[in-house]
Structure 1
Amino acid sequence: MATALSLPTTPSPSSLHPRSRGVVGAGGCVPPARRRRRARVFASCSREPASRDRGLEMERRRLLLSGLASSFAVVLPISESYAVTETNEDVKMNMQVDEINAYSFLYPVELPEKKFSFKWVESRKPERYSSAAPLSPDARQRIVSERVDMIHNVVISVSIGPPNSRFLPSKDKSMWDPKDVADCILSDRSTMKVTTGQRMTESSVLDAHSTEVEGEPYWYYEYLVRKSPTKSAPEPNLFRHNVACTAERDGYLYSLNASALSKQWESVGPFLQKTVASFRLLPPTENYVPPYKDPWRFW
């Protein structure tokens, strides 16, 4: 597909694979310890922690230093929605934890050596599925959180929706083909009132594969979407380059999608791939609201 579109060379599909060199939990976005600078975690609190809490803080730091930031999010309580982690000498990343929908991921905030900073705006704060904004007229798939860098045209969003039986007729997710999962998600992403076939022609899947993380399948895919020319990008042959990850829980698909303009992909794409590789569903807490709960509730 990519060749037919005459686009710049895309990154190797293996760069999305969680088992690539350098691991965060099982996700693969932090290089080995010998190549990593000392990790730092900055946490704000309203008062000095008691002595009995210092052990927990030391354990958090120990896990980060050992490259287990993802596990840290799972096994230890997090008092803040975000933690700041300097993962390596190339990029500083933040961790977002959504307790309402029980997932986490890392996203890039700064490239120290290049003196470059992303200008993120949280356009949609995490919210329950029933009140989230729909991605398509049928409201099956909805955005439960989103952050945008409008200056650099970068978007990271998380959406939730039920599987489309047209693409995934089996209820056994271990049998799902990665390309079918990608087509299932992309068929519901268009906000245009067009047929499924028309929506599919807007997107070109470059790669799709899956892997198991802690016994659960995660599906990874990379695709292009044709966009209309803008003042900042007047070329008629304009595409958004996307990478995404999808996981299933309780009969719903949870998908993280990161995208940038195709001409910017070479500079920001590797860091968005780290974001996608870090996506994890977390064990639900008391704040978790399953998508099927109170579908009539809009607040």
Structure 2
Amino acid sequence: MGCMVDDINAYSYAYPLELPSEKLVFKWVESRKPERYSSAAPLSPDARLRIVSERLDLIDNLVISVSIGPPNSTFLTSKDKKTWTAKDVADSVLSDKSALRVTSSQRLEESSVLDAHSTDIDGEPYWYYEYLVRKSPTKIAEASKMYRHYISSTAERDGYLYTLNASTLGKQWDMMGPVLERAVESFRLLPPTDSYVPPYKDPWRFW
């Protein structure tokens, strides 16, 4: 496993380098180098949820990314994160994760949550969830079978949700899913260093 450490946003995760059972070596490209929340690419028109880093394997159709955004109060009504369920956290993140100019409920319809659970790590809750996203909004029967299979881990700090997403094509999940699950399970928020830039600092600064 390789190791990704982002000092700007203070998190780390491990990512797979190979799949020995298939004699496969992954060909990762760092498509988005770590950057501060204020200058990161938005995932929706309201720019609440933003990708702060991303790596791709275009040949094997794998994506691992980290996004940061504030909680959606529609789903996370309490300020006490200890009361949040994994399903509510998943709905909060997914409601903001869309390139379409639609309502939160319409965005959720693009996604189907398969599983959600949480665990405490060093006294902090981490929420895990697995979901499918249609690759195309068309109603054509064949197109409806095309979807991406995601697995994610979310943690909260300074009033923002930090989420690691790992995904591949649905038809590849049986082969790729186990190594992506290990990547997601390795996600940790780190003690901030002098390089850390909190998301609330200059939130609309783009340079």
Where on the TM-score scale, by shorter chain, does this alignment land: which range?
over 0.9
Q: Which amino acid aligns with 1:288?
A: Y
Greater mean alpha carbon deviation, residues 249-258 or residues 114-123: 114-123
Greater share of strand: 2
Q: How does 1:204-223 map to 2 (within 5 A)?
A: 204-223=112-131
Rg (Cα) greater in structure: 1
CA RMSD of aligned residues (A): 1.3
- The gaps in structure 2 that reach 5 residues or longer are none
Q: Which residue matches 2:24?
A: 116
Q: Which residue matches 2:90?
A: 182
TM-score by length of 1: 0.66
Q: Which residue matches 1:127?
A: 35
Q: Please state if 1:201 is matched with 2:138.
A: no
Q: Secondary structure at the match of 1:274?
A: helix
Q: Secondary structure at the match of 1:212?
A: strand
Q: Which amino acid aligns with 1:298?
A: F
Q: Please state if 1:170 is matched with 2:78.
A: yes
- The gaps in structure 1 that reach 5 residues or longer are 1-92, 230-234
CA distance in 1, matches of 2:9, 2:100: 27
Q: How does 1:1-299 map to 2 (within 5 A)?
A: 93-228=1-136, 235-236=142-143, 237-299=145-207
Q: Secondary structure at the match of 2:17?
A: strand
Shift of 1:113: 4.9
CA distance in 2, matches of 1:139, 1:298: 12
Shift of 1:194: 1.0
Q: Secondary structure at the match of 2:191?
A: coil
CA distance in 2, matches of 1:249, 1:265: 31
Structure 1, residues 4-60: CA drift from partner, whole Å, max 9, x if none? xxxxxxxxxxxxxxxxxxxxxxxxxxxxxxxxxxxxxxxxxxxxxxxxxxxxxxxxx
CA distance in 1, matches of 2:30, 2:198: 22
CA distance in 2, matches of 1:106, 1:118: 14
Q: Which amino acid aligns with 1:145?
A: S
Alpha-carbon spacing, 1:205–1:297, altered in 2? closer, same or farther (3 Å):
same
TM-score by length of 2: 0.95
